[in-house]
């Protein structure tokens, strides 16, 4: 429940599944290593699984590689187990290196685009990297530990304050909790000093949500449950928690099933209300005439509604900075943006072989009267418009 409560997850469900996948890989790797370390007999299979999942995290996003490195450093520096470190490293590299190898082959930069100033630029240029850095800086109030609580508050994760307190129960004999706690604290501090973008906390979403529950259990519930089980032995039956979980979850599952059933029945109406959807649907209808390549500005989260190729994003070859001017240069923080004059945009569109343009007028100002000298207004909604080149 704490995990699903996080704004960073609730706000990205529907289009940023990559971050949730990263969170799952990271949790699986951390849990597998904790089980390996807590077991009386070390299981090489558990270690290999930890490496496979850590490789999955590293191959998903660079921040997954940070998590994978933390787990490897635990084996190397804390456990000082060279054999386990080697096994883990081989499994991690086997499952996590392919994306970086692919990036190196295609772009010359294994960590594209972040290594552009070292390996050379490919899709991103120096301005893109600078704008990304400035965008990250806009999240930062002050890289001072005194601002740790405001950082949690901004991330919508105040409950994680209890995760820090759970360290008082990370006793030497509880190796698994020590691993959870160490991974959470070290990664969170890395995030705090390097970037404060909420979704970059994905590698510790799960463990940071587990630790507050563990703290509440140890601080309050364990003694109560201990007293109850000593007075009523049947309360200690291990099947009871499963039965109680079913009592709680089955009604919730029934409610959600009915909700989903209704949502599926009204799916078309729901999509119609989504920003940009009707514009992209109209573009699909026009694509036999105007081609299957569409330039868009401001609807980057809706690109999958178009059945062809969508061109345009904050960074890359078709970056927004070539299509509009903003009062502030870095992504997502512009106070005012104005579309380029139509002739300049027509040149760009011809360069990418596109004859259709979608603009989010809630985010970008466009001089429609000027554009209508060269474009036909094929669709207009309260959120934007679809233009087709004559």
What's the sign of the alpha-carbon dihedral 200, 202, 204, 209?
positive
Specify the pLDDT at position 232.
72
Specify the pLDDT at position 330.
45
3-state secondary structure the chain: CHHHHCHHHHCCCCCCHHHHHHHHHHHHHHHHHHHHHHCCCCCHHHHHHHHHHHHHHHHHCHHHHHHHHHHHHHHHHHCCCHHHHHHHHHHHHHHHCHHHHHHHHHHCCCCCCCCHHHHCCCCCCHHHHHHHHHHHHCCCCCCCHHHHHHHHHHCCCHHHHHHHHHHHHCCCCCHHHHHHHHHHHHHHHHHHHHCCCHHHHHHHHHHHHHHHHHHHHHHHHHHHHHHHHHHCHHHHCCHHHHHHHHHHHHHHHHHHHHHHHHHHHCHHHHHHHCCCHHHHHHHHHHHHHHCCEEEEECCHHHHHHCCCEEECECCCCCEHHHCEEECCCCCCCCCCEEECCHHHHHHHHHHCCCCEEEEECCCCECCHHHHCCCEEEEEECCCEEEEEEC
Domain boundaries, the chain: 2-220, 237-272, 274-389
Specify the pLDDT at position 136.
67
Other Cβ atoms closer than 10 A to 133: 11
Per-block mean pLDDT, blocks of 10 residues, the chain (390 long): 80 79 96 89 88 96 95 93 94 95 92 88 84 68 71 80 86 83 93 83 93 88 73 74 87 88 86 89 95 94 92 87 75 70 94 95 92 95 94
Specify the pLDDT at position 28.
97
Specify the pLDDT at position 197.
80
Can you state the percent helix, strand and coil of the chain, rounding each to 5? 65, 10, 25
Token digits of residue 197: 């973008």
Specify the pLDDT at position 29.
97
Specify the pLDDT at position 184.
94
Other Cβ atoms closer than 10 A to 373: 9
> In sequence order, what are the residues at sequence separation of 6 or more whose Cβ sits closer than 8 angstroms to the Cβ of residue 84?
36, 42, 47, 75
Q: Model pTM? A: 0.79
């Amino acid at each position: 429940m704490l995990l699903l409560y996080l704004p960073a997850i609730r706000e990205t469900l529907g289009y940023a599944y990559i971050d949730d996948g990263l969170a799952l890989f990271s949790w699986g790797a951390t849990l597998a290593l904790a089980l390996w370390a807590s077991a009386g007999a070390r299981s090489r299979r558990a270690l290999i699984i930890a490496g496979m999942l850590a490789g999955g995290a590293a191959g998903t996003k660079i921040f997954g590689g940070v998590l994978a490195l933390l787990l490897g450093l635990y084996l190397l520096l804390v456990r000082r187990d060279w054999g386990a470190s080697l096994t883990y490293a081989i499994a991690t590299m086997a499952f996590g290196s392919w994306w970086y190898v692919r990036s190196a082959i295609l772009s010359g930069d294994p960590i594209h685009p972040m290594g552009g100033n070292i390996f050379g630029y490919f899709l991103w240029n120096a301005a893109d990297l600078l704008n990304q850095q400035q965008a990250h800086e806009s999240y930062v109030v002050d890289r001072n530990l005194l601002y740790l609580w405001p950082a949690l508050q901004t991330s919508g994760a105040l409950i994680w304050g209890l995760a820090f307190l759970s360290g008082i129960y990370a006793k030497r004999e509880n190796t698994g909790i020590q691993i959870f706690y160490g991974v959470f604290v070290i990664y969170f501090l890395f995030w705090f000093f390097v970037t404060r973008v909420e979704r970059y906390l994905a590698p510790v979403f799960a463990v940071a949500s587990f630790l507050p529950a563990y703290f509440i259990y140890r601080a309050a519930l364990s003694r109560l449950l201990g007293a109850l089980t000593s007075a009523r032995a049947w309360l200690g039956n291990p099947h009871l928690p499963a039965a109680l979980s079913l009592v709680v979850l089955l009604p919730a599952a029934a409610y959600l099933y009915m909700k989903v059933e209704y949502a599926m029945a009204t799916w078309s109406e729901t999509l119609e209300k989504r920003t940009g959807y009707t514009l992209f649907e109209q573009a699909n209808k026009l694509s036999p005439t105007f081609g299957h390549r569409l330039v868009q500005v401001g609807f980057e989260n809706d690109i999958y509604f178009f059945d062809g190729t969508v061109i345009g994003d904050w960074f890359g070859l078709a970056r927004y900075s070539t299509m509009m001017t903003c009062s502030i240069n870095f992504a997502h923080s512009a106070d005012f943006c104005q579309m380029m004059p139509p002739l300049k945009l027509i040149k760009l569109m011809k360069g990418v072989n596109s004859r259709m343009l979608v603009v989010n007028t809630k985010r970008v100002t466009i001089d429609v009267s000027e554009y209508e000298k060269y474009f036909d207004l094929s669709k207009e909604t309260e959120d934007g418009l679809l233009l087709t080149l004559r």
